[in-house]
Structure 1
Amino acid sequence: MIQDFARRVGTRERLKYLYLLTVADINATNPGLWNGWRASLLQQLFSQTHQLLKRGVDNLPEMNEQIANTKQRAMALLIEQGLKEEDISYLWDQFNDEYFLRHQSDEISWQTEGILQHDSEEPLILIPEIADGYEHQGSSVFVYTHDQSNLFAATVAAFHQLGLAIQDARIITSRSNYSLDTYTVLEEDGSAIGPNAERILDIKTHLQNTLSAPDTFPDLIRRRTPRQLRYFNREPAVLISNQIEPRQTVLDITATDRPGLLALIGKTFARLDLQVHGAKIATFGEKVEDSFIIADHNGEAIQEAASCNEICSALIHVLREASSHDAITP
């Protein structure tokens, strides 16, 4: 995607002009739409495209080179904190390549440090405090625990009950069957959790209590949909595909955003007895594009056509029903 975009832009100078024009356009059209979270996404697009244009559009870094560079930077940060290289390497051997491709070196650093210092069988919940001035960029919540049934459904339901809106999620399962889940969340008013020790403790306690018994996660709370979202009523789309290598089932969902939408999807997964082994969650204004790696209750890919049709039908029904409750039609 970055490569295709870089080819269209052409030069680093044009990229800078386009970046500035886009920021100005969004703020001039709808100042309320611009916040730190969207700014950080646009900054990431600019930075990666700028690096590729400098390197050469056709000179994509090899995956192994990218992973090695990320590990090297993260290792240097961890050694500065006094951690031992052999302990770090032993832990990283349990993580697959996807983890190092989908996380920045500073993220890997504080997550690795937290895991190595965690000496309990209880779920590990990490919420780094955000400094003043970055209160709208979203807060990271990292969950590290044994992978188990309904873990995803219980986590997103807990966030919903806490009044936190999920902006982004990276769900990864390690080779040792641990869940490495990183969520970016905002409060209901669009702000980050911030350096609020009391609020952070409340979130950690609630998540730990919920994840200690994920099969009994709380009922969903119905929240008022913001008026600007009620004008959008996108027809939901659900697509299931099976990959051959590795053998796994990918579920893609596109829908109109609503408060608690992800919690509703998670609850539907639980009702259908589906396991979530990976996810990429993205929210763009009124639109959500979510991709899940799912399995049946035995951890196997879902290949029967009847089962695939049942999953798609159930999700479309739930999404349509949620959208019809509060949509405003002309």
Structure 2
Amino acid sequence: MQHDLFHIYTVDAHTMMVIRNMRQFRYRSTKNHSPIAYHCVHKIPKPELLYIAGLFHDIAKGRGGNHSELGKEDARAFCVRHRINRADTDLVVWLVEKHLIMSATAQQKDIYDPQEVKNFAAVVGSEMRLNYLYALTEADIKATNDTLWNSWRASLLRHLFIETRKILRFGEESIPGRKTTVNACKRKAREKIRSVAGFISAEMQTKLWTAAGEDFFLRHTPNQVSEITISMLTNTNLTETVVEVRDANYQLSIGGATNIYIRTPDRKGVFAATTSELDKLNLSIVDASINSNVDGLCLNRITVLMNDGEPVPRSSLVRSEIKTNLTKTLSKKTIEAIPHNRRTKRQIVELSRSTEVSVEAGSTQSSSLFRILASDRPGLLGMIASWFHECGFDIQSAKINTLGERVEDIFSVEHAEPLSKGVSDSLEGFARQLERYLDSRIGIK
């Protein structure tokens, strides 16, 4: 039995559900809601190998040690005992060993960075393996927790699958490098803006794009970049706050989530106040990019889902509330970042694990990276952002990653005192203080 909120089934029940999902992927009725999995199971030459990998992928849980490493040896012994040929045995063993790599890459790496996709493609090695791995990954996620599979995770895996397949079919040259991709996107977007919005000066455009960072151009098409730029700069007074709500249609990903773009003067507490307002609307933040330039301009992107794991509908009044509330809050001279108190479910309190916070030196002497592993709960991100704000830290960027009941978030923060050597004792003290603060909010001592 797995005593947590992430795995809601016993290992044997979970395994049977994985096999059920694999079988259902072959039905025509699954083509609409699981198109990639449907494609994959109809492309693999031997479905029985997928089923064997599904039976053994979690078989070693509870023994101690790495269950993927232990499980692959059980899978190998089974294949040898049943005289399965060496190539097929190697495939099953590889699937059991690597069954977590696709979901981990999609959720923990920057899959819009071409190099990360190339690294993943190098591990996979062939399109056939990719088809097997994707089918196993989706079947595994859907059999772990009913709430774990949502439109956002589906869009991440879809993007990773399509870009990896492109490399495996046509070689690494089929995906340009990071700098080439960014520059090409900027060039095409600039041409589009010049043709439809000549009132936007090159100087203002440069300021906004500098604040946006390279990630902005890796995640969006040139048309999307031009549309967002125009909407952000239609109001030419850069001292005022502008908020836009759009579908998160990144590149080939369709309908995965809802993006909130915020242009506002840079000052402490912007992210904390943003998370507080979104929490009041019961929205879940699944990704965030917090950026600013030397001129004191922010262009932040916050990606959210509704409580049901779906994007905010275009017709929903929530979209107008997001714009109105954020614009009002961030237009104040003094930003208030008060976390919104929401009731924590009893199951979360009883099954929560202690928070773990590590800190390391950042890219400059006045910056640090905080890595936070904590039990997810309503308003968690707002608590973290408000704590940083109260302690005098300025959040520069954030990587938000929620895995069922657990979150693995990374915050790059600026602090008043430059670090002379590595991480100071005071920062380690702040890490322990943050652990105690988050645990105390749900009764962990």
TM-score range, shorter chain: 0.7 to 0.9
Residue 41 of structure 1 aligns with an amino acid whose one-letter code is L
**Contact 1:173 1:278 (C-alpha < 8 Å) held by counterparts:** no
SS state of the match for residue 13, structure 1? helix
Alpha-carbon distance between aligned partners in 2 of 1:103 and 1:176, rounded to the nearest angstrom:
24
Structure 1 spans left out of the alignment, 5+ residues? none
Which of the numbers 380, 396, 400 marks the counterpart of 1:261? 380
SS state of the match for residue 173, structure 1? coil
Which one is further off, 220-229 or 173-182?
A: 220-229
Q: Corresponding residue for 2:152?
A: 37
Q: Structure 1's 231 and 140: CA in aligned 2 closer, same or farther, altered over 3 A?
A: farther
**Contact 1:277 1:294 (C-alpha < 8 Å) held by counterparts:** yes
SS state of the match for residue 235, structure 1? coil
SS state of the match for residue 195, structure 1? coil
Residue 242 of structure 2 aligns with an amino acid whose one-letter code is L
Question: In the TM superposition, what are the counterparts of 1:198-277 in structure 2 within 5 Å?
Answer: 198-213=317-332, 215-217=334-336, 219-225=338-344, 229=348, 232-244=351-363, 248-277=367-396
Q: Corresponding residue for 2:295?
A: 176
SS state of the match for residue 194, structure 1? coil
Which of the numbers 6, 11, 18 marks the counterpart of 2:133? 18
- Overall identity of the aligned pairs, in %: 30
Alpha-carbon distance between aligned partners in 2 of 1:281 and 1:275, rounded to the nearest angstrom:
17
Question: In the TM superposition, what are the counterparts of 1:305-324 in structure 2 within 5 Å?
Answer: 305-324=424-443
Alpha-carbon distance between aligned partners in 1 of 2:386 and 2:407, rounded to the nearest angstrom:
17
The structure carrying a bigger strand percent of its residues is 1
Q: Corresponding residue for 1:122?
A: 240
Cα RMSD between the aligned structures? Answer: 3.3
Q: Structure 1's 138 and 227: CA in aligned 2 closer, same or farther, altered over 3 A?
A: farther
Which one is further off, 37-46 or 243-252?
A: 243-252
Which of the numbers 183, 190, 195 marks the counterpart of 2:314? 195
Alpha-carbon distance between aligned partners in 1 of 2:163 and 2:345, rounded to the nearest angstrom:
33
- Which consecutive aligned stretches of 4+ in structure 1 deviate over 6 angstroms post-superposition? none
Q: Structure 1's 236 and 98: CA in aligned 2 closer, same or farther, altered over 3 A?
A: farther
Which of the numbers 215, 228, 238 marks the counterpart of 1:111? 228
**Contact 1:294 1:301 (C-alpha < 8 Å) held by counterparts:** no
Alpha-carbon distance between aligned partners in 1 of 2:280 and 2:312, rounded to the nearest angstrom:
15
Alpha-carbon distance between aligned partners in 2 of 1:130 and 1:60, rounded to the nearest angstrom:
22
Q: Corresponding residue for 1:160?
A: 279
Alpha-carbon distance between aligned partners in 1 of 2:413 and 2:147, rounded to the nearest angstrom:
36
Q: Structure 1's 51 and 78: CA in aligned 2 closer, same or farther, altered over 3 A?
A: farther
Which of the numbers 72, 95, 114 marks the counterpart of 2:209? 95
Q: Structure 1's 273 and 235: CA in aligned 2 closer, same or farther, altered over 3 A?
A: same
Which of the numbers 161, 180, 204 marks the counterpart of 1:65? 180
TM-score normalized by structure 1? 0.83
Alpha-carbon distance between aligned partners in 2 of 1:252 and 1:313, rounded to the nearest angstrom:
12
Aligned length: 321
Alpha-carbon distance between aligned partners in 2 of 1:85 and 1:287, rounded to the nearest angstrom:
47
Which one is further off, 303-312 or 175-184?
A: 303-312
Question: What CA deviation, in whole Å up to 9, does each residue of 1:148-184 have, x standing for no partner?
Answer: 0111111111111222111111111123221111011
Structure 2 spans left out of the alignment, 5+ residues? 1-115
**Contact 1:249 1:301 (C-alpha < 8 Å) held by counterparts:** no
Which of the numbers 261, 277, 291 marks the counterpart of 2:410? 291
